[in-house]
Amino acid sequence: MATLTSKIVLVTGAAGAIGSAVCAAVTRGGGTAIATDLKAGGAIAYALDVTAEKDWSRVMADIERAHGRLDGLVNAAGIVALGTVEQLDFATWRRVLSINLDGAFLGCKYAMPLLRKQGGAIVNLSSVSGLVGGHNLAAYNASKGGLSLLSKSVALHGARLKPPVRCNAICPAFVEGPMIEQIAQSARNPDLAREKMPQEIPLGRVAKPGEIAALCAYLLSDEAAFITGADVPIDGGLTAR
């Protein structure tokens, strides 16, 4: 298990399958997870719409008052919309790009002043869809491909800082949770779609959110001090062929 003793980590999309598992992994590693999502309440400390600049500045000001610094940021908020370039309407395209790409840009931008105080790490939830295309994933592919390259730019900027701020993207394939259920539901035959997902993965199954969270926790930890600017697949071998 990664050691995150005393690290303060902000997680977006923390009500979701992966975001909530990341918060649990940060806490298990000895850190403090600041959970954010569209609505506050329960485990979610702050309402933070990642597309809203004013939300980012409000939450960062609050964290600065409370902790004086930030050690990690995990951009896990995201949506998927299925559709080919011909099927997608412009509003859907913009919504996907806005949440998945603009949201992570704003996160990196607004977290950086607090991360650079003592050095830190950013993990962006990209996807195998940021590495390879799908005929019906035009907007999602574009958003995740953009996020992977944004992560490299942020990493190169962060490497010039003293102390440095690292930034990596991770690229899961199917992960148990509402997002793959939404994908199955939008298929003509949801049962068949559910059955086919694990068959597309060489390891023969979909990932558990905790497996994705463990990689996030490692990349946030000092054990990963020499890893930055990477796109790390966590896909059961999907992109190996």
Ligand X SMILES: NC(=O)c1ccc[n+]([C@@H]2O[C@H](COP(=O)([O-])OP(=O)(O)OC[C@H]3O[C@@H](n4cnc5c(N)ncnc54)[C@H](O)[C@@H]3O)[C@@H](O)[C@H]2O)c1
Task: Write out the residues near ligand X by the rule CB under 6 A.
Answer: 12-13, 15-19, 37-38, 48-51, 76-79, 99, 103, 125, 127, 172, 174-175, 177-180
The amino acid that residue 160 corresponds to is R
Angstrom distance (rounded) from CA 207 to CA 158:
30
CB of 184 to ligand X, least distance (A): 11
Report the SS3 class of residue 91.
helix
- Residue closer to ligand X, measured from CB, 15 or 138: 15
CA dist., res. 123 & res. 228, Å (int): 10
For residue 189, the minimal CB distance to ligand X (Å) is: 19
E strand spans, the chain: 8-11, 32-37, 46-47, 72-75, 120-125, 165-172, 231-234
Q: Is the dihedral of CA 182, 77, 16, 212 positive or negative?
A: positive
Rounded Cα distance between 195 and 22, Å, is 27
Q: How far is the CB of 205 from ligand X (least distance, A)?
A: 12
> In angstroms, rounded to a whole number, what is the distance separating the alpha carbons of residues 112 and 107?
8
Nearer to ligand X, 49 or 71 (CB): 49
Q: What's the chain's Rg over C-alpha atoms?
A: 17
Amino acid (one-letter) located at 166? R
Catalytic residues: 140
Decide whether 16 or 29 has the Cβ nearer to ligand X: 16
Find out whether 232 and 171 touch, Cβ atoms under 8 Å: yes
To ligand X, the closest distance from the beta carbon of 187 in angstroms equals 14
Q: Which is nearer to ligand X, 159 or 179 (CB)?
A: 179
Sheet containing strand 8-11, edge to edge, reads 46-47, 32-37, 8-11, 72-75, 120-125, 165-172, 231-234
Q: How far is the CB of 111 from ligand X (least distance, A)?
A: 14
Q: How many whole angstroms separate alpha carbon 224 and alpha carbon 235?
A: 20
Do 1 and 28 form a contact (C-beta atoms < 8 A)?
yes
CB nearer ligand X, residue 22 or residue 116: 22
